[in-house]
Amino acid sequence: MFSIPILLLVVLLALTFDYINGFHDTANAIATSVSTKALTPRQAVAIAAILNFVGALSGTAVAATIGTNIVLPELITPLLIIAALVGAIFWNLFTWYFGIPSSSSHALIGGLSGGAVAAFGFMAINWQGFIKIFAGLIIAPIVGLVAGSIIMTLLFWVFKNASPANTNNKFRKLQIISASMASFAHGSNDAQKSMGIITMVLLGAGFINTFSVPLWVKIACALAMAAGTAIGGWRIIRTMGGKIFRIEPINGFAADFTASITIYSATLMGAPVSTTHVVSSSIMGVGAAKRLKGVRWSIAQQIVIAWFITIPSSAIVAMLFYKLVTLFI
């Protein structure tokens, strides 16, 4: 059963994950605008923090997906959730330290899966829901890649006869809008994942009768995400903002616009996607449209490898933590 101290610990860990998600994924929304000097780092982080908070309050469809579609609700235990969050937090901090733009969504899903398998075996996983979520995580970056390339190609065609200097000046201003859109979309999808975890625990503990996210959970997760965003993730910003390819304002606008539309569309459908994956794939698509050889595919390869190893890595950490704790209780 969930005692009050255990419940508080789970809520604290979920908010910690949300906070780390904020500074881990800040780069998703602001890296391109900072790298093109459309915004100063201070301005960009302030905009990202505010719009992340607003986005986090915009809905709960993703929270419901996380809370009901990965682990069978009747099998939720305090230790399972704690192990899941420890696995996700560890992987986020590990990849943040090395500047690798990995997925907080993958980390959380991996942690939940690892904790469930450690506790009850593979039968604890809601495989139908898991496969749907995993499919969305795979499809969204592909959409970002293709759409980024198409939008960039269209912009090149529209502005082919315009002065490059004037075009970049215009898009440098438009990047403020696109960065705001990306920040709102990020908050709308990522903050709901922690909402789903906390609501799942409240339901398992009997504090609520149906899966409905309480207002205080929405506000707490939104604040945690915004606070983490305000700290910033400068290691990852350097990777996202310049190492994939040399970004100009028109490229940054195209990438942020593409990513924000893709992410928010997923949010409306209740699909938890990786904002990191969508943004980085959008940048790759934009870069490929500009000049295929201009994309540093070695950096892109490192990012893709991180995508594929995140779920099993965070799952293993959660399983090890669960087994270790059970040795002493």
Min mean pLDDT across 17-31, 69-83, 130-144, 155-169 is at 17-31
Identify the pLDDT of residue 302: 67
Buried b / exposed e over 116-139, threshold 16 CB at 10 Å, is bbbbeeeebbbeebbeebbebbee
pLDDT for the residue numbered 254: 93
Q: What is the pLDDT of residues 31-41, one digit of tens each?
A: 778 878 888 87
What is the per-residue DSSP string for 127-155? HHHHHHHHHHHHHHHHHHHHHHHHHHHHH
Angle at 307 between CA 222 and CA 314, to 5 degrees: 70
% of residues, the chain, pLDDT over 90: 36
Is the pLDDT at 173 greater than 60? The verdict is yes
Instruction: Look at the chain and report how many structural domains it folds into.
Output: 1
Residue 26 has pLDDT above 70, yes or no: no
Q: Is the pLDDT of residue 101 over 70?
A: no
Q: What is the pLDDT of residues 235-274, one digit of tens each?
A: 555 555 445 556 788 988 999 999 999 999 999 999 888 8
DSSP 33-73: HHHTTSS-HHHHHHHHHHHHHHHHTS--HHHHHHHHSSB-G
Q: Which residue has the higher pLDDT, 231 or 179?
A: 179
Q: What is the pLDDT of residues 183-228, one digit of tens each?
A: 999 889 988 889 999 998 888 788 888 888 999 999 999 999 888 8
| DSSP codes, 306-318 | HHHHHHHHHHHHH
Distance CA 252, CA 179 (A): 9
Is residue 177 pLDDT above 80, yes or no? Answer: yes
How far, CA to CA in Å, does 232 sit from each of 6, 96, 130, 192, 227? 30, 11, 31, 20, 9
**CA dihedral of 86, 189, 141, 256, whole degrees rounded to 10:** -120
The parent domain of residue 246 ranges over: 4-326
Mean pLDDT rounded to a whole number for the chain = 85
The pLDDT-based confidence of 292 (bands split at 50, 70, 90) is low
pLDDT tens-digit series, residues 81-93? 999 999 999 998 8
For residues 261 and 23, the model is more confident at 261
Q: CB pairs under 8 A, 24+ apart, for 320-328? A: 321/82, 321/83, 321/86, 321/87, 322/79, 322/80, 322/83, 322/114, 322/115, 322/118, 322/119, 323/118, 325/79, 325/82, 325/83, 326/79
